[in-house]
Amino acid sequence: MTVNSSIMRTFIYFLSLYIVTAGANDESWKRSTLALEGINPERFLAVESYFKQDVYNDLQSVAIVKNDKLVYEQYFNGASYLTRYDIRSATKSFISALVGIAIDQGKINSINDPIMPYFSDYFPVKHLDKNKKSIRIIDLLTMTSGFNADVDNSHSLGHEDKMEMANDWVKFAIDIPVINKPGVKWSYASMNTFLLGYILEQATGEKLDVYAQKYLFQPLGITNMQWSYTPKGRVVAQGNFRITTRDMAKFGYLYLNNGSYNGKQIISKQWVVQSTTGQYPVYWHGYHSYGFKWYNHSMTINEKLINYYSAAGNGGQKICIIPDLNMVVTITTTAFFKPYANQRSVDILKLILQSVE
């Protein structure tokens, strides 16, 4: 080993130690270092080098939880551990969690419940044919509702840009015609998740943000977050939720630990397993399959297949859970609609995994 490489390895070790002790007023995480938790500091230099070479100036944060401890966090381009990031469609995984909690509480009977009874306030509903009547909660969870809505087709009647121009988003969405038999074809459409938000309000009798605070965020000790709202004052359930990097990691850690946090079962283990299991193949942005608002992936690292699942949003927002490594990685950016954004986040994750002993 050369003197320079030895110096660099020592530097990165103490850098990681400094980073995880910054913001020590936040007592919600146990702290450790990369080296102590089995991440090779010398290999991790490749991660740091990648950050230095990034030319886009829109990467915001990267954090790593390993073996129940926060071992690394880094912020870029003016961001800090107090910054709330717009995680875009990674919000959808939080809505999936809330559906699971409502089922655990008996507020929603089953994922197989038909959705139309929840929309009685909007009757008569347009295009109410056999297929629309047969849409179930699981079909909204898995993006297989059959609605004429597709994020990749701006001409689809239920495209999110059109919904966002409506005064009443619920009416707009529930009136969209169904063009495929529910439960058959995967088609990414944000209105599916928005409708789930409305169903949660109808089932629980509480505003979605209030319900989320009581049964998800408060138990996790999350207070620094911000929802977006429609013109009618409803929560934008499908995206644009703002939260800190550390709190994203808490949510990922909750799933890593099968729905338990600080000894309390917040979501049932059954829901965590079911919702993160791939239900439909997805040939989209390099993903492998889709569960209940969670993507499934795998990577080959040092000739070993590593499976993981993630909450993902436009711009490369990621909450990645790697069960075999007892690890969570979060990534935030402001690279919205940039063609390089998702791949950059995947590249960062791969470099991190390559540094694990």
**What average pLDDT does this structure show over 94-115?**
98
pLDDT at 9 over 90: no
- The answer to whether the beta carbons of residues 89 and 287 sit under 8 Å apart is no
pTM, to two decimals: 0.93
Within a domain: residue 21? yes
**Do 209 and 75 fall into the same domain?**
no
Q: Do 77 and 96 share a domain, yes or no?
A: no
Residue-level pLDDT at 284? 77
For residue 36 the two structure tokens come to 């102590």
By the 10 Å C-beta count (0-12 exposed, 13-18 middle, 19+ buried), 357 is classed as exposed
Evaluate whether residue 287 is within a structural domain.
Answer: no
18 vs 352, higher pLDDT = 352
Amino acid code (one letter) for 131? N
At 117, which CATH number? 3.40.710.10
75 and 144 inside one domain: no
Q: How far apart are CA 350 and CA 78, in angstroms?
A: 25
Asked if residue 1 is part of any domain, the answer here is yes
Claim to verify: residue 119 and residue 81 sit in the same structural domain: no
For residue 63, is pLDDT > 90?
Answer: yes
Confidence of residue 16 (pLDDT cuts 50, 70, 90): very low
249 conformational bin, left if phi > 0, alpha if psi -120 to 50, beta if neither: alpha
Q: Convert the pLDDT of each residue in 211-259 to its tens digit.
A: 999 999 999 999 999 999 999 999 999 999 999 999 999 999 999 999 9
Residue 206 in domain = yes
Q: How many domains does the chain have?
A: 2
Q: Each residue of 269-313: pLDDT tens digit?
A: 999 999 999 999 998 778 999 999 999 999 999 899 999 999 999
Q: Which of 213, 233, 253 is the last residue of a domain?
A: 253
